[in-house]
Structure 1
Amino acid sequence: MRSPVTDFIANPTSHDFNALALSVFAYQFEHNAPYQRFCLTRDKTPATVTDWHEIPAVPTVAFKELDLTCGPPEKIFLTSGTTRGQEKRGRHLVPDLTLYHASALAHFAACILPDQRHLRMLALIPSPDTRPQSSLTQMAAWVMAAWGAPGSAYFIDLTGVHIEAFAEAVARAQQEGTPVCILAITSALVAFFDWCEANGGQFALPGGSRIMDTGGNKGLGRPISRQGFLRSCWKYLKVAGYYCVNEYGMTEMASQFYDNVLYNRFRRSNEPRYKIAPPWVRTLVVDPETLEEVPAGQPGILRHFDLANCGSVMAIQTDDVGYLVGDGFEITGRVPGAEARGCALVLEEILGSKA
């Protein structure tokens, strides 16, 4: 089953999404026993499902209780611990990292590197040896290996977040006239902005520099609006908003979503900022009570269908609230009562381990 999905990622015109999604569903129904049981309770089988919209979506909480995989895992990714503790963490068992790797690199290139540049990458993200079971650190490691120029480095490890070393690296890039790509947990970059405010730090990164941030305001740092974050990127780094791209990803998914701003800039498009998916992913917004689709623009909870999840479960029901816009979607929050999660909580774990 992997080969046609790999082909689709490399060339999205090579297959029809609906036909391929139905094939992936049939494969997962046959090889993923817990998922098959889940589908049967809903009277959904490959014989009765005729459109990708009908494929049963597994709630993310199921990844805490079940091994949802079609084969022995090559790697297991764990969700970040929550503020309630780490006794229950979601597990994404990935039988083959090939699709994960292909998906992560292809959409990153489209949304962060549309100019196909190799850049020095400064990562306010934990190094892979610090968080070996984090999907974020795995994605960052692949990205840095593929496109990181000399001088690329991590600034979070088991000893903490190294803000001053990061500031020195930013200053060095400015002095050398070397554009950089900053990969950061949002709240870690906010901590850097706070350091700049306290220490009179203001930098002017060379043209072509860009920022990819991920996560939210939980964990280290202070709450900040998106517009406030973008203003700080300009104030302290001289990186314009259209070079600042927010990433949204989930441990349970092999693919990621990104703001469309840099992608649009290189296509000379003036569409408003929102999240866009790669061609091998579809997103629905559903009513939290009925789980039925809602019209574009109406808020609901996000449901993703990711063909790169071929080896586990393609259809994922999230607790994220958002709405469809253009050819993508925007996120507005979480379902009330849903536990905190995400990349920002990685920082809480690292800082907690020092206590």
Structure 2
Amino acid sequence: MFLSQSDWRSSLRQRILNVTPPDFDALGLDLFRYQARYNAVYAEYLRHLRCQPNSIESLADVPFLPISFFKTHRILIPDVPVATEFASSGTTGATTSRHLVPDLPLYDAVCQRLFENTYGPLNQFHILGLLPSYLERNNSSLVYMVQRFMTLSGSDQSGFFLNNYAELTSRLRLLTTQARQRTQPAKKILLIGVTFGLLDWVDETPESLTWVGKYPDLIVMETGGMKGRRHEMLREEVHAELIGKLGVSAIHSEYGMTELLSQAYSTGAGVFGPGATIQVRLRDLNDPFHSYVPGQTTGKQTGGVNVIDLANLDSCAFIETQDLGQYETGSGTFRIMGRFDNSDVRGCNLLAAL
């Protein structure tokens, strides 16, 4: 049966909102066929690769669009009105990526589901955002997401902190003290921050912050990124420094970027799990068109990071990033190891090159 573009999109959207792990591959293939037909940039890319979309029968054979196209092209399926435009942070004078987003309610629903599947309902949190470089812009997808989380938290103590570290420390003291004085279960606390912001906070606070780790329902989450503010560090080094100075047992991480509408989360040790709408497929370092299927490799396979993001319904769901990743043995989990040489320094997804 022939479906119009709008009916096809509507069907895919509903399936994305309700996708479960057994449905992922079939939905991904249908989304590929939809985008191969209606996304002019992606269709032209496939044509240059001599890829016949009707011959693709497995996600392992789907070509991934280089992420740099988001800097140079309008990656958008036509006839879908744009609601907002997210842009990457970039560096001074650098060309930034643009992600045109027609469907903010889809983005809202996906972000909420991915977070709550890992951490529980947002209305059980106070959310503190330490995102200085992102707050200085008005088109950051990260700020939009965290602001949305704050609204869903329903907490009047949730809020952003630019460079006001003393106020952040004071807010944390207030929340942890109030929690200890209550007899009923208190809300959890999520402190989410860009990496250099968290490091600046612990370095520039004159008092010891090890009391922070004594509150068991506190999550400290880094989003990656030095943005030229500090020297690059391995994620393990960053986590070790923050754990030592905050007294927490683990540092959590968020893996996301402007070009993706889904996020992956690590609850510690930098190990990310796939989410309902996002999977990572590593590609061979010497052959970008050969990928390794998660859970079907032996040893800790390293490769370039390709991302399947089902939430990218109106742009492109198959993104070849410039990140380097590594599968954990025999599982669908992965680590982000660094970036390819000469790739752009980005704010949200990488800490250091190998």
TM-score (norm 2): 0.83
Taking the aligned partners of 1:34 and 1:332, their CA distance within structure 2 comes to 30
Map 1:119-268 → 2, pairs under 5 A: 119-126=125-132, 130-156=136-162, 161-177=163-179, 179-196=188-205, 198-204=206-212, 206-221=215-230, 223-241=232-250, 244-261=251-268
Q: What is aligned with 2:5?
A: none
Name segments (4+ residues, structure 1) moved above 6 Å. Answer: none
Q: What is aligned with 2:112?
A: 105
Unmatched 5+ residue regions in structure 2? Answer: 1-7, 180-185
Taking the aligned partners of 1:290 and 1:169, their CA distance within structure 2 comes to 50
Task: Tell whether the 8 Å contact from 1:280 to 1:307 is kept in structure 2 after alignment.
Answer: yes
Task: Tell whether the 8 Å contact from 2:257 to 2:348 is kept in structure 1 after alignment.
Answer: no
1:293 correspondence with 2:291: yes
Deviation at 1:248, TM superposition (A): 0.9
Secondary structure in 1 matching 2:311: helix
Identical counterparts, % of pairs? 29
Taking the aligned partners of 1:329 and 1:172, their CA distance within structure 2 comes to 36
Q: What is aligned with 1:64?
A: 71
Taking the aligned partners of 1:221 and 1:174, their CA distance within structure 2 comes to 30
Aligned letter for 1:164?
A
Do the aligned partners of residues 240 and 129 (structure 1) sit closer, same or farther apart at CA in structure 2, a change above 3 Å counting? closer
1:78 correspondence with 2:87: yes
Task: Tell whether the 8 Å contact from 1:254 to 1:308 is kept in structure 2 after alignment.
Answer: yes
Do the aligned partners of residues 273 and 341 (structure 1) sit closer, same or farther apart at CA in structure 2, a change above 3 Å counting? closer
Aligned residues: 325
Q: What is aligned with 1:350?
A: none
Q: What is aligned with 1:302?
A: 305
Task: Tell whether the 8 Å contact from 1:22 to 1:46 is kept in structure 2 after alignment.
Answer: no
Of 297, 302, 319, 1:316 maps to 319
Do the aligned partners of residues 176 and 339 (structure 1) sit closer, same or farther apart at CA in structure 2, a change above 3 Å counting? same
Task: Tell whether the 8 Å contact from 1:8 to 1:280 is kept in structure 2 after alignment.
Answer: no
Aligned-residue RMSD, C-alpha: 2.6
Aligned letter for 2:160?
Y
Taking the aligned partners of 2:312 and 2:22, their CA distance within structure 1 comes to 17
Taking the aligned partners of 1:128 and 1:221, their CA distance within structure 2 comes to 16
Deviation at 1:280, TM superposition (A): 2.3
Task: Tell whether the 8 Å contact from 2:255 to 2:348 is kept in structure 1 after alignment.
Answer: no
Taking the aligned partners of 1:260 and 1:8, their CA distance within structure 2 comes to 27
Taking the aligned partners of 1:90 and 1:194, their CA distance within structure 2 comes to 32
Secondary structure in 1 matching 2:131: strand
TM-score (norm 1): 0.82
1:19 correspondence with 2:22: no
